[in-house]
Structure 1
Amino acid sequence: MILDQLLILPLFLLFLILSILFKIFPFQSKLPPSPIALPIIGHFHLLGPLIHHSFQKLSLRYGPLFSLRLGSVPCIIASTPEYAKLLLKYNDLSFNSRLYNIAITRLTNNSSIVFGPYGPYWKFIRRLSTNELLGSHTMKNFLSLRESEYRRLLRVFASKSEAGEAVNVTNELLKLSNNVISKMMLGRAEDVMSVVRDVTRIVGEFNVSDYIWFCKHMDLQGFGKRIEDIHGRFDALMEKVIAEREELRKKKQNGERKDIGGGDQPRVKDFIDILLDFSEDESSEIKLTRVHIKSLISDFFIAGTDSIAITTEWALAELINHPEVMKRAREEIEDVVKSKRLVNETDAPNLPYIQAILKETFRLHPPLPLVSRECVQDCKIGNYVIPAKTLLFVNVWAIGRDPSCWENPLEFQPERFLNSDDLEKKNMGPIDVRGQHFQLLPFGSGTRLCPGLNLAMQELPTLLAAMIQCFDFKVVGKHDKLINDDEQDNIALVDMDERPGLTAPRAHDLVCVPVARFKEVTILDT
């Protein structure tokens, strides 16, 4: 009897330990294949600074759907269009939440449309953004604003060209996208480029405290201080802007407000006015607070500034490295505008090769290399059971370089999106970027499809076409490589290294001497 009791005690302890383990890591045995994990840190030791690169290397060994444990957090990584479609389309309801970490929680005050949890508030804000802030009518109202910024950028290049001086193209593209978003949001240009880049960088970094449960309240990497600094800088700026607009609204209640640029036309409402209107509407289904407004403004700056500038820079870098593609793009532009005027947004549908260049840029250099989600309910994927709270990463960057999806995947070939025979070989029809073709997902897919997609696809073709219509670019950055050419020696190639973060910008700024293609750039004044 005593022996039986002694045997029961260790069995009870074993049962207790197993119960705790299964509670922490439910369905562990039903997750996809996984490397051997280390105690406490899990698989963190397998990840380098460029996470999407590390995920791709692991997928070559463990398959198109594999699992990792980052600290105490279970994750699955998908690296093929088939799994992307299965997870983001057919199981959209199970994966309709976004990754939330310490940085996101603090910087967005839990009120973000980009990162916020799926629910009544998120659906209201999504509808507001799609219909009121980023709808076709609003985009049309701000057309002249975007065109004035395109011309401002080209005039900067023209002045540098005349002086034979180099220009930091990276900074100028960031300034343009910052100004467009800032004027649409706030009615004026506010320089938030540095803080936006700090946000995208810290949100994309792995913080140990987010993944190892007993480190949750420890600031082992100094993230806390950096987060508070970024939050303080942005919050102070937004508080100042909102307070000024509220004061102006009080003063203008009984008078008609004129357009930002003067003249007799009624002023186009910017986003902050629309948001303040909703915050004052007592009948609104969701009461917008000051915190909500700040968070939404932050969302638009983060999503609209970095991604548009990064995509344009990558596209221009590829064109500089592939002069034959640049030449064909110019020929297309000249066929459409006849070199008599500057290309504009209405020309974009008639520039299929420019569109193909952008798709090829999205394929090789997606602005968001990883589409991240969080599983909100237990979900069965084939023979696997994915437990709630598991993080999902769809490696868009790896899909774009998969030889089973693309011929010569590492080569920059915009023609692949124009050649119907090549697409048919891969069982592809015409491919767009709106989340329905899972081999190309620059804006995500499903419920969480980027609401700024329409704005991006209005700006990008026109901006890129205008730059290459008016200028050649001689690279002078210290990170260039030199090659030999039959016609010209020592042609500079732009380096194509990446920098870590939420987005995937080039590692080094693009510095060039712009060379005007017209003796007098009078085209900018037409």
Structure 2
Amino acid sequence: MFYYLLFFVWFFTAFLVHYFIKTFLKPACQVHLPPSPPSLPLIGHLHLIGSVLPKSFQDLARHYGPLMQIRLGAATCVIASNAAVAKEIFKTQELNFSSRPEFGSSEYFIYRGSRFVTAQYGDYWRFMKKLCMTRLLAVPQLDKFTDIRDQEKVKLVESVMSCAKEGKLCDLSSEFTIYTNNTICRMAMSTRCSGSDNDAEEIKQLIKTCLALAGKLSVGDILGPLKIFDFSSTGKKLVGALKKYDRLVERIITEHEEKAVKGAVVERKDLMDILLEIYNDPAAEIRLSKNDIKSFLLDIFFAGTDTTSAAMQWAMGELINCPRAFNKLRDEINTVVGNNRLIKESDVQNLPYLRAVIRETLRLHPSAPLIIRECAEDCKVNGSIVKAKTRVLVNVYAVMRDPESWTNPDEFMPERFMESSKEKIGEHQMEFKGQNFRYLPFGSGRRGCPGASIAMLVMHAAVGALVQCFDWKVEDGDKVDLSPGSGFAAEMAHPLVCYPVKHMNLFN
């Protein structure tokens, strides 16, 4: 404790000296940096930030402009908050903002150097992105698993139906997480929550633990050099959880390799089969390591399980709170699908209002409300200089709720995404490819989310099925509490728990 105290006194003194020099001995000529609110010593702008970061940044942007500089303790970042500035970052100067910085939990990540999602823009990242687009997450690969997604959707409806028959509450947050986790596990590694090993269930718990611990460590960035002391042992816990994940996936890799050695016929290759094929290919453009494989699958679980589950919760919450939209969607499903079978993925193209509901949900509640990039070289954005190595956060939550871009931006109005709507960009209907810079639910450009297609497949079918088969009653009152969760996350502050009431039973 004496050495901790000594270090703290030294650090505090050094910081005050640095602050004094920077504040009172400024050179006459100053670089025109982005505007910034008045800050306090040590804590910077922490006193201006509430628990919901995207909302806090949006409120500050109203006063300090669409590009501003914020300091949270020892961490400084630049925040973009409207479509015009987002376009500068994602398109006009895309190459300069094509890398992502390491932050938070990076030093405790056992696959450091193998992460696709946070990899620097270079040969490895380009190879993995090409692999995603041409094989791993390409439409032909996703089409091979249509029956898997359909089976998991049926299991979701059956589970909710059992709650309806018993007249008990249904925790949709848990149901959706199981649904997305099983779907991704089966597509990635041909395993689900079944059998004695219960691999998918264990993966679900490990991912939940890792996300929670990584979130706590990301807050540690405000401590600067002090975070290396890991006062709460959160870093050690994260390493422990990741090592458990490593052992589990190593066993599944071994099982896949043994099947290949035995010459077993694989009817359809899952993601791990494809990755192992490249791992064993001496002529591959880039040789993958097993850590690369494990890390990529972990990124898939991180990006696809909780985020997709949260988006579906938001969709159901908004629909329950808006009976007009709920009934309009049900009428569309009844007209197109009928009442003698469950909605299928192939029906979605004929259900424009369902597509509009999901689009509007992602506008109001993006799965990644803050997209982080790193500036490679000094450049000018929105008239201000952004220094090299600066962290840049694009607040897509604010971009997609900007009253200059959207009519009644905080209202749930799926109709704005219908073909007849006047709320379009140019001559083109809204899309998910990130070229309409006021609508960026999956980012934009080279670093746009490669898993958007699978997320949309999973969401449309599940939300459509639960509207088709059930009415919903809120436990306390008539409205779902749509308060957002804290931190960087996109989930609800409170799990979505409701009474399902059978409207249609297609499993008699």
Same fold (TM over 0.5): yes
Partner of 2:308: 308
Equivalent position amino acid for 1:431 in 2 = M
Structure 2 residue 175 is the aligned partner of structure 1 residue 172: yes
Counterpart secondary structure, 1:109: coil
Structure 2 CA distance for aligned equivalents of residues 92 and 270 of structure 1: 33
Shift of 1:209: 4.7
The answer to whether the 8 Å contact 1:475/1:513 transfers is yes
Structure 1 CA distance for aligned equivalents of residues 507 and 107 of structure 2: 44
After TM superposition, list the pairs within 5 Å mapping 1:247-266 onto structure 2: 247-250=258-261, 252-253=262-263, 255-257=264-266
After TM superposition, list the pairs within 5 Å mapping 1:412-423 onto structure 2: 412-418=412-418, 420=420, 422-423=422-423
Partner of 2:138: 135
Kindly provide the CA deviation profile for residues 3-44 of structure 1, in whole angstroms up to 9, marking residues without a partner as x. xxxxxxxxxxxxxx89x969xx99973211001233333323
Structure 2 CA distance for aligned equivalents of residues 53 and 281 of structure 1: 48
Structure 2 CA distance for aligned equivalents of residues 105 and 285 of structure 1: 28
Q: Residues 384 and 168 of structure 1: is their aligned pair in 2 closer, same or farther, counting only changes over 3 Å?
A: same
Equivalent position amino acid for 1:215 in 2 = L
Partner of 1:182: 185
Partner of 1:495: 481
Q: Which runs of 5+ in 2 are unaligned?
A: 1-17, 193-199
| More displaced stretch, 104-113 vs 188-197 | 104-113
TM-score (norm 1): 0.85
Partner of 1:270: 270
The answer to whether the 8 Å contact 2:369/2:397 transfers is yes
Equivalent position amino acid for 2:158 in 1 = R
Kindly provide the CA deviation profile for residues 93-146 of structure 1, in whole angstroms up to 9, marking residues without a partner as x. 111111312414533422112111111111111111221111111111000000
Partner of 2:473: 474
The answer to whether the 8 Å contact 1:154/1:524 transfers is no
Counterpart secondary structure, 1:76: strand
Counterpart secondary structure, 2:114: coil
| More displaced stretch, 428-437 vs 201-210 | 201-210
Displaced runs of 4 or more, over 6 A: 25-28
Shift of 1:452: 0.4
Structure 1 CA distance for aligned equivalents of residues 415 and 143 of structure 2: 31
Partner of 2:364: 364
Matched pairs, number = 479
Structure 2 CA distance for aligned equivalents of residues 429 and 290 of structure 1: 43
Q: Residues 145 and 421 of structure 1: is their aligned pair in 2 closer, same or farther, counting only changes over 3 Å?
A: closer
Partner of 2:237: 226
The answer to whether the 8 Å contact 2:163/2:500 transfers is yes
Partner of 1:74: 76
Kindly provide the CA deviation profile for residues 433-480 of structure 1, in whole angstroms up to 9, marking residues without a partner as x. 22111111111101111000111122221221111111112222xxx4
Counterpart secondary structure, 1:507: coil
Partner of 1:154: 157
**RMSD (Å), alpha carbons:** 2.5
Quick one: which of 511, 514, 517 aligns to 2:497? Answer: 511
The answer to whether the 8 Å contact 1:151/1:524 transfers is no
Structure 1 CA distance for aligned equivalents of residues 41 and 204 of structure 2: 40
Kindly provide the CA deviation profile for residues 376-395 of structure 1, in whole angstroms up to 9, marking residues without a partner as x. 11112243221111011111
Q: Residues 354 and 104 of structure 1: is their aligned pair in 2 closer, same or farther, counting only changes over 3 Å?
A: farther
Q: Residues 142 and 352 of structure 1: is their aligned pair in 2 closer, same or farther, counting only changes over 3 Å?
A: same
Counterpart secondary structure, 2:101: coil
Structure 1 CA distance for aligned equivalents of residues 30 and 178 of structure 2: 47
Equivalent position amino acid for 2:435 in 1 = Q
Partner of 1:88: 90
Partner of 2:351: 351
After TM superposition, list the pairs within 5 Å mapping 1:45-444 onto structure 2: 45-107=47-109, 108-189=111-192, 190-191=200-201, 192-205=203-216, 207=218, 209-250=220-261, 252-253=262-263, 255-257=264-266, 267-418=267-418, 420=420, 422-423=422-423, 429-444=428-443
Structure 1 CA distance for aligned equivalents of residues 115 and 312 of structure 2: 26
Q: Residues 440 and 277 of structure 1: is their aligned pair in 2 closer, same or farther, counting only changes over 3 Å?
A: same
Shift of 1:53: 1.6
Identity between Structure 1 and Structure 2 (%): 38
Shift of 1:206: 6.2
Equivalent position amino acid for 1:441 in 2 = L
The answer to whether the 8 Å contact 2:148/2:183 transfers is yes
Kindly provide the CA deviation profile for residues 175-195 of structure 1, in whole angstroms up to 9, marking residues without a partner as x. 010001000111111122232
The answer to whether the 8 Å contact 1:201/1:502 transfers is no
Q: Residues 297 and 167 of structure 1: is their aligned pair in 2 closer, same or farther, counting only changes over 3 Å?
A: same
Partner of 1:453: 452
TM-score (norm 2): 0.88
Counterpart secondary structure, 1:495: coil
Task: State the structure with more CA Rg.
Answer: 1
Counterpart secondary structure, 2:305: helix
Equivalent position amino acid for 1:93 in 2 = L
Shift of 1:421: 5.3
Partner of 2:40: 38
Q: Residues 429 and 137 of structure 1: is their aligned pair in 2 closer, same or farther, counting only changes over 3 Å?
A: closer
Shift of 1:398: 1.4
Partner of 1:264: none
Equivalent position amino acid for 1:218 in 2 = F
| More displaced stretch, 215-224 vs 308-317 | 215-224
Partner of 1:14: none
Structure 1 CA distance for aligned equivalents of residues 454 and 218 of structure 2: 32
Q: Residues 233 and 421 of structure 1: is their aligned pair in 2 closer, same or farther, counting only changes over 3 Å?
A: same
The answer to whether the 8 Å contact 2:52/2:488 transfers is no
Q: Residues 419 and 126 of structure 1: is their aligned pair in 2 closer, same or farther, counting only changes over 3 Å?
A: closer
Equivalent position amino acid for 1:383 in 2 = G
Structure 2 CA distance for aligned equivalents of residues 326 and 441 of structure 1: 25
